[in-house]
Amino acid sequence: MSAVQEQTVNENKRETLFLSLITQTNGTTTINDELINKIHIEEYEANDSRHLIHLIIIIIVCLLMFTLTIIGNLIVILAISLVQKLKTTSNILIFNLAVNDLVVGLFIMPVALILEISNEWILGSVMCDLWTSIDVLLCISSVLITLIIVIHRYCIIKYPFKYTSMHKIKFLIFMMASVWIVSALFSLPPILGWGRPSDSLPICQVNPKLADQIFSILVGFYTPTIAMLIIYVKTYRIVVNRRSSFQMSPFLTHNTTSANVEQASRNEQAVRILGVMVGLLIICWSPFMLYAIIKPLHEHITGLTGTPKSLNAPAWIDSVLLWFTYSLSMLHPLIYIKFDRDFRTSFHEIICCRLKGLNEKIQQQE
């Protein structure tokens, strides 16, 4: 049966049912209260059953997400801390990103799940300020750390001799300090309660002015994302051009060839991982950030405010897009497992609680 036919049948059933509720008594039309009450009870039970099923699905999916997020990023932190080969300047940034994602799994996701279950804010205004501030802090720092990872890899590939270990350490210290300072500045308005709804409203959200919100999204997400795309494309072109020129050069010795092949292979692997990280960042975050601009703009123009229905969008669209951004914290460890053999081996050994001899096993893979 087609959707149109099914809708017609349902409408006919409703009409027949409504007519059955009406009886003629001495020429006067009356409503059968008993049947009306019965229908109300059946509709309430059906809606309650559907709501319970949806709630169970939401709880299972969200629990799975932040469980994988916690376990995955905790193992990344342990692997970098325990495995000598993984203690590189590049992995310092991965370590910071893993700590960021771990806090998302330990604090941001559980509170968001409580909000999904209760469908209103029940944790008080102080917790609201704290949660929104940390959420903003982690979101901004996640984007900026990814940008620093891209810049760091570009410098390694573009300037292999000028970008020495000392330069790397100084660069990373300066950039990571900048990341957390900038992220903290973005998180100040929520923790100070700027734009927060009144305490009488059972919601928790930051309501900045339209211009401030658009500025924050453009500076905190779109500008870094465009920058990392440009830098990534440049890095990719350098790697491809060097591989082509290397393959065509007739003046390379066997030893030089082996060294260059190994270095080129490492660069290609790093660029591949970067491409996946940048791609997933755009896929997971762009829908939410785009909606975060379109919604207030539409409300400002039309004068309709307060709910997603002002855009004729489903009421659950905010939650879906928000959890889609959180999923990136779960996906980061999977990227390392998929594309890095040392991380993959470390993950396997740590999960199996075989920490003794882990460094030796990693060395044997070379």
**Strand partners for 22:** 31
* Residue 220 placed within a domain: yes
Residue 325: what pLDDT? 95
For the chain, 366 residues long, the average pLDDT of each consecutive 10-residue run is 51 49 46 51 51 82 93 95 89 94 95 87 84 91 95 89 79 90 85 58 69 84 95 92 64 54 76 94 94 81 58 75 94 93 89 82 73
Residue 112: what pLDDT? 92
- Please tell me the pTM assigned to this model: 0.80
Collapsing DSSP states into helix, strand and coil, what is residue 76?
A: helix
* Residue 1 placed within a domain: no
Tell me how many domains the chain contains: 1
* Residue 3 placed within a domain: no
* Residue 56 placed within a domain: no
Residue 352: what pLDDT? 86
* Residue 288 placed within a domain: yes
Instruction: Evaluate whether 291 touches 317 at the Cβ level (below 8 Å).
Output: yes
Residue 330: what pLDDT? 96
* Residue 252 placed within a domain: yes
Q: What are 136's two structure tokens?
A: 């903003």
Instruction: Evaluate whether 209 touches 170 at the Cβ level (below 8 Å).
Output: no
Residue 103: give its domain's CATH number: 1.20.1070.10
Residue 9: what pLDDT? 47
Residue 260: what pLDDT? 60
* Residue 168 placed within a domain: yes
* In the chain, beta strands by DSSP E: 22-25, 28-31
* Residue 280 placed within a domain: yes
Could you give the CA distance from residue 337 to residue 347 in angstroms, rounded to a whole number? Answer: 7
Domain that holds residue 210: 72-364
Phi-psi region of 119 (alpha: psi -120 to 50; beta: other; left: phi over 0): left
Q: Calculate the CA dihedral of residues 67, 68, 73, 74 and round it to 10 degrees.
A: 50
Could you give the CA distance from residue 322 to residue 135 in angstroms, rounded to a whole number? Answer: 11
Residue 21: what pLDDT? 46
Buried b (16+ CB within 10 A) or exposed e, 101-115: bbbbbebbbebbbeb
